[in-house]
Structure 1
Amino acid sequence: MSLRIAICGVHIESSTFSPHLSGTADFEVTRGQALLARYGWLAEPWAAGVEWVPIVHARALPGGAVEPAAYDAWRAEIVEGLSDGTFDGVLLDIHGAMSVVGRQDAEGDLITAVRSVIGPEPLVSAAMDLHGNVSPTLFAGCDLLTCYRTAPHVDVWETRERAARNLVEALRRGGRPHKALVHVPILLPGEMTSTRVEPARGLYARIPEIEARPGVIDAAVWIGFAWADEPRCTGAVVATGTDAAATEQAARELGQAFWDARDDFAFVAPTGSMDECLDAALKDGSARPYFISDSGDNPGAGGADDVTYALERMLARPEIRDGSVRAVYASLYDPEAVAAVSHLPVGSPVSVRAGGRVDTRPPGPLLLEGTLEALADDPDGGLVAGVRIGGLSVFLTSRRMQYRLLESYRRLGVDVAEVDVVAVKIGYLEPELFEAAADWMLALTPGGVDQDLHRLPYRNLKRPIFPLDQDAALDLSPR
């Protein structure tokens, strides 16, 4: 059976509490053969006999809400591409937590646009991040939905392959899959739901057994996205299958398990203010290297990446300023600051203001007076600079980036194994940092992805929702 399947999507996680705006320049856009080349499973036997048609895929580091003109252009390109002939199915490669300025439910808008051109008959399969959201509109427009099962996400490509394989198998089987959605009124930051620890580890460990049951195709649990103020932001469970009763039972069972675990979710590491984290890191006998997550401005969740609060607290420590403690701060997004020092030879004295240009909350731009320690080109951060102040190396970047890979530190001459304290704008530590850290804490710092959800000015969430509201209640009636 010859099948024709389109591939398209817009993939970004957007904090509506971040002043950063995500524009065209923030996205990596792939089309044509370059888009098909992303997917290694196209050569697998199950994918044979399928004409995979690349439309367009745009992907960006998490950030603020997307500028409408950028989103509208990609949506129009997707619609135009889908108008070129007929399709048996569409693989929708998305995140699920994109926000567009002035609108709500961006992915719901995207699936509505897709359906407007392909009609009701072709099957649509969505591959998503578990920190995405499943709105009623997105659920109604898709026939199959699946998401990552790990956080940190080490199964990204496995998830995309599963979504594609489920789609091909459903088309060859014929008929429409049954599907069931249970919204779970829980809203938690990802740093409380890592699958490294319970209860998320046990919750996601149940999926393979449920998925293997007769009549079930897939089961998926979405934590939801805590840093967008939209009604769709909530936990969700979706099951798909060939048997209606088995599919509904799978959704109910996982939804109940998620709800029953609500009081057990806790931060994946010890937490404290930035000063409390520094106290622990600088204490005699603390393990080295000691990592501190500057979590409130984590660009990996949508933070502006230039809040200077945590850096100011580090510079206030005499043992860091006088060089008796070796430390790293990674990083501040500030192309102006990088440009101001980039013409200087390494080793030159520098005096430059950095940070606080996008997210202007106190203390704002900081004056960095020290030595230009390194310059490098980074595939994520563009031209980057290291400024040494006493024992502290401050990384400045031309593009927003997350210092999650050790190679990024090495480009600026830093081996983290030789550092006492590493402060990094991140939430839970990504795998390489987790392995490198002798110990770590999560600093509850201010920013567009503040871990203390009670400090965020929600206006549009569907309430009540746990833990913001203790009277939240679960409705197990599936859609």
Structure 2
Amino acid sequence: MARRPVIAICGLACETSAFTPARTEAAAFHAQRGPDAVAIYDFLAAGTPLAAAADWHGALIGRALPGGMVTRAAYEDLAGEMVALLERLVKEPHNNGVDGLDGLWFDIHGAMVVEGLEDAELDLLQRVRAVVGPSVLVSASMDLHGNVSRGLVHQLDLVTCYRMAPHEDEQATKQRACVNLLKALQRPRRVSPQRPYKAWVPIPILLPGEQTSTRDEPAKSIYGVIPDVERLPGIFDVGVWVGYAWADAPRNRAAVVVTGWDSEAVAAGAERLARKFWAARGEFHFVAPTGSLDACLDAAFAATPAQRPYFVSDSGDNPTAGGSGDVTWGLTELLKRSEISGQAAAAGAVIYASIPGPEAVKAAVAAGVGSTVTVTAGAAVDDLHAGPITLTGEVFSIKYGDKNARTEVVLRVFGSVYVILTELRKPYHYERDFVDLGLRPREADVVLVKIGYLEPELYDMAADWMLALTPGGVDQDLKRLGHQRIRRPMFPFDTDFADKPPNLAARSIPLSTEPLTGPDE
């Protein structure tokens, strides 16, 4: 009986904003180890084709909610444990009594920032490589909002990323990374090359995800070309990265990576996509009408019944892009509106999601549903734009046990405004997030949620919506944030490239066993 390949799984993921004072600690990664790290992937469940094709061994997988910079202590703890678990896997005998690993799946995001590290994912991969050795094939899956540096591509054999934003293909991408790894491992040893060729093209464009959704042009057409390129003879996989706009490091930019068995085809495919991306730079636009929060609320409160529920994105503090989640500015401005708190207040149901405030939640829980309480919440982490907010209202509902929020409370303020308070920050992406709290978002007039582009369920639910350009750690106005370390020139920070047109030639990346020299450009 043929020996099945032995594959380890590891990775850390945290989309990290450099413009929030928040910090991410080890507990936020909800680390899974050993068999538990394999069990989180349905496509590796017992009885699936992939499960039968290889022996999969979990080392450590950690995925944190996007947020502030990862502390060095947290990273060292998790990376150290990951390496120790990999060392154990390398030394253990596996099927047919053979020890060692054949492959490794590196499941990361690509936009993690760690205190004191220039390229956290590369540092982690170098530590992993030092343990598993140069002969092990490594395949990575990434978010298209990650940053793929030349050094990272060099240490990888295979790399792919999501092709949809919103990320409806997250699990499909991870599965593709595993399928690609198995195909590469099954390549006959006598056939050259043993490892795929890799072509990398950095593109000097840095845009927020809210301008690059694959629902809309031009990203829709750019990503629509990927299957055509991937079908060409000699090409194995194609990845197009938008990059992550709210970190501030030289690796933050768009990029294309193509892998395959034909070096010329790989280079040509990468350059074709890079040129298409660059040519479209002036066509990118926000996925919805935008405006100040006041302008968005003006439109929401003036909406006709056919336009309700009317969703407004409080985008500057989006916790799934890296915002701290506790900026109170948006809620403070909402509650000033005459439609809510004035003498002529006539607004229907308004939902606001959400503000963390552990002490406020504790007080509301102690008082109980139906009680009237006065509590203070928010701005414990990010008080750069507004201070803590004090609310008086009726405790409408309480829910326990959420993975992110722990405990959630709905406070009804001014009779018609339902403010969600959480013990810890939480994103609200699904209808059940609201319904489980006794709220009916489909029947509300206005829903204000800390998010950028609307996730699929919210998008389908909204009769109309606008994206408010609000302040916070993931401010959509990138120039307002003050990037200092990105490579220049960079679109849209710079628009005149006449004197320095970008180099969109494919950089051939050598095999991971060969030294890499030269700058990351």
Q: TM-score, normalised by structure 1?
A: 0.98
Query: Which residue of 2 is the match for residue 195 of structure 1?
Result: 214
Which residue identity does 1:74 align to in structure 2? L
Q: Contact 1:47 / 1:165 at 8 angstroms: preserved in 2? A: no
Query: Which residue of 2 is the match for residue 309 of structure 1?
Result: 329
Alignment of 1:230-269 (within 5 A): 230-269=249-288
Which residue identity does 1:299 align to in structure 2? P
Which residue identity does 2:109 align to in structure 1? H
Query: Which residue of 2 is the match for residue 78 of structure 1?
Result: 82
- Return the offset for 1:476: 1.7
Q: Contact 2:110 / 2:148 at 8 angstroms: preserved in 1? A: yes
Query: Which residue of 1 is the match for residue 97 of structure 2?
Result: none
Counterpart selection for 2:441 from 390, 397, 416: 416
Single out whichever of 431-440 and 109-118 deviates more from structure 2.
Answer: 109-118
- Return the offset for 1:323: 5.3
- Return the offset for 1:49: 4.1
Q: TM-score, normalised by structure 2?
A: 0.90
Matched, 1:87 2:106: no
Query: Which residue of 2 is the match for residue 18 of structure 1?
Result: 20
- Return the offset for 1:87: 1.4
- Return the offset for 1:71: 1.0
Q: Distance between the aligned counterparts of 2:326 and 2:453, measured in 1?
A: 19
Q: Distance between the aligned counterparts of 1:298 and 1:130, measured in 2?
A: 18
The root-mean-square deviation of aligned C-alpha atoms, in Å, is 1.3
Query: Which residue of 1 is the match for residue 313 of structure 2?
Result: 293
**Structure 1 stretches lacking a partner, 5+ long:** none
Query: Which residue of 1 is the match for residue 424 of structure 2?
Result: 399
Q: Spell out, residue by residue over 1:353-389, the C-alpha distance to the aligned partner (whole angstroms, 9 max, x if none).
A: 1111110023211110121111112343111111111
Which residue identity does 2:365 align to in structure 1? S
Query: Which residue of 2 is the match for residue 59 of structure 1?
Result: 63
Which residue identity does 2:52 align to in structure 1? A
Q: Alignment length, in residue pairs?
A: 479
Q: Spell out, residue by residue over 1:388-416, the C-alpha distance to the aligned partner (whole angstroms, 9 max, x if none).
A: 11211110011211011111111221111
Which residue identity does 1:336 align to in structure 2? E
Q: Distance between the aligned counterparts of 1:393 and 1:285, measured in 2?
A: 21
Query: Which residue of 2 is the match for residue 204 of structure 1?
Result: 223
Which residue identity does 1:380 align to in structure 2? N
Q: Contact 1:319 / 1:325 at 8 angstroms: preserved in 2? A: no
- Return the offset for 1:432: 0.6
Q: Distance between the aligned counterparts of 2:131 and 2:36, measured in 1?
A: 24
Which residue identity does 1:169 align to in structure 2? K
Single out whichever of 303-312 and 283-292 deviates more from structure 2.
Answer: 283-292
Query: Which residue of 2 is the match for residue 116 of structure 1?
Result: 130
Q: Distance between the aligned counterparts of 1:357 and 1:382, measured in 2?
A: 17
Query: Which residue of 2 is the match for residue 475 of structure 1?
Result: 503
- Return the offset for 1:47: 5.1
State the secondary structure of the residue aligned to 2:362.
helix
- Return the offset for 1:463: 1.0
- Return the offset for 1:119: 2.1
Which residue identity does 1:20 align to in structure 2? A
**Structure 2 stretches lacking a partner, 5+ long:** 91-99, 508-521
Counterpart selection for 1:103 from 117, 120, 138: 117
Matched, 1:271 2:294: no
Alignment of 1:271-420 (within 5 A): 271-285=290-304, 287-321=307-341, 322=345, 324-377=347-400, 378-390=402-414, 391-420=416-445
Q: Contact 2:26 / 2:78 at 8 angstroms: preserved in 1? A: no
Q: Distance between the aligned counterparts of 1:422 and 1:40, measured in 2?
A: 33
State the secondary structure of the residue aligned to 2:12.
strand
Single out whichever of 379-388 and 14-23 deviates more from structure 2.
Answer: 379-388
Q: 1:440 to 1:49 in 2, by over 3 A?
A: closer
Query: Which residue of 2 is the match for residue 457 of structure 1?
Result: 482
Q: Distance between the aligned counterparts of 1:436 and 1:205, measured in 2?
A: 26
State the secondary structure of the residue aligned to 2:115.
coil
Q: Spell out, residue by residue over 1:161-190, the C-alpha distance to the aligned partner (whole angstroms, 9 max, x if none).
A: 100110110011141101100001100000
State the secondary structure of the residue aligned to 1:442.
strand
State the secondary structure of the residue aligned to 1:131.
coil
- Return the offset for 1:285: 2.3
